[in-house]
Homo-oligomer: A and B are copies of this chain.
Amino acid sequence: MIRVVLQSSVDMELYLIRHGLAGQHGDYPDDDQRPLTPEGERKTEQVAKRMRSLDLKFDLILTSPLTRAKQTAKILQKAGLSDALETAGYLAPGGDIQNWHAWVESWRSPDKALALVGHEPDLSSWAELLIWGEVRDRFILKKAGVIGLELPESGSALSNSQLFWLTPPRLFL
C-alpha cells in the first residue's frame, strides 16, 4: 500500500479519533445506541474529507461498539481513509488499554497506520498513558477531534510514544 506519511519517520502512526456530535445523553433508552446528530454527521464528514485530502490512509480502523462511534468510523471509511474496519469491545467507555496493547504489540510494524474511534475521557487517557505512562487529564479532545501519536520503533508503546497532532475539528471545517 502506498501511504504518504505526515512525518518523515517511518515509525507506526496511531490516530485516536473521538466520535462526532451525538444526541443528548438521556434521550435514548439505551445510551449505547445514541446516534450522531445531522450536524455531527456533517462535521465528521468534513473532518474525514480533510484528513483524506492530506493523503492520510489507515491500514485499519478499530471502533468502539457504540452506535455513535461506529457511525463515525463508517464515515471515515467512506471518505476513503481505510479499507478495513473492525469493532473492538475494549474501545467502549472504560475499556482497558492493556487489552489493546496486547493486541497491537503483535499487529504493529513501523510503516503501519492505525485509527481508533472511541470516547472521552478514555482516548485522552490512553494518549497520556502512551506518552507519559500516567493519566493527568491534560488533553482537551473535542468531538470529532483527532490525536496523532508516533509509536517508538521498538519497545513498549506505553510511556514511549510521541505526540505530533492534536486538533479540534474546527481546524478542519
In the complex, chain A residues 62-112 whose Cβ is within 8 Å of any chain B Cβ: none
Q: Is the CB of B164 within 8 A of A166?
A: yes
Contact of A171 among B54, B131, B132, B161 (CB under 8 A): B54
**Does A163 count as interface, using CB distance less than 8 angstroms?**
yes
Interface residues in A, total, Cβ within 8 A: 23
In the complex, A172→B53 CA distance in Å?
11
| Distance between Cα atoms of A131 and B131 in the complex (Å) | 12
Interface residue ranges, A against B (CB under 8 Å): 6-7, 54, 131-132, 136-140, 142, 150, 161-168, 170-172
Closest 7 CB pairs of A and B: A140-B164, A166-B166, A131-B138, A138-B162, A140-B162, A139-B163, A163-B166
- Determine how close the nearest CB of chain B comes to the CB of A97; give it in whole angstroms: 17
Q: Are B163 and A165 in contact (CB under 8 A)?
A: no
Contacts of A6 in B (CB 8 A): 168, 170
Q: How far is the CA of A132 from the CA of B137 in the complex (A)?
A: 10
Q: Which residues of the other chain, B, contact A164 by a CB distance below 8 angstroms?
A: 139-140, 142, 166, 168
A153 to chain B, nearest CB (A): 14
Q: A140 CA to B168 CA in the complex, in Å?
A: 18
Q: Are A165 and B162 in contact (CB under 8 A)?
A: no
Question: Which residues in B have their C-beta under 8 angstroms from that of A167?
Answer: 165-167, 171
Q: How far is the CB of A160 from chain B (nearest CB, A)?
A: 9
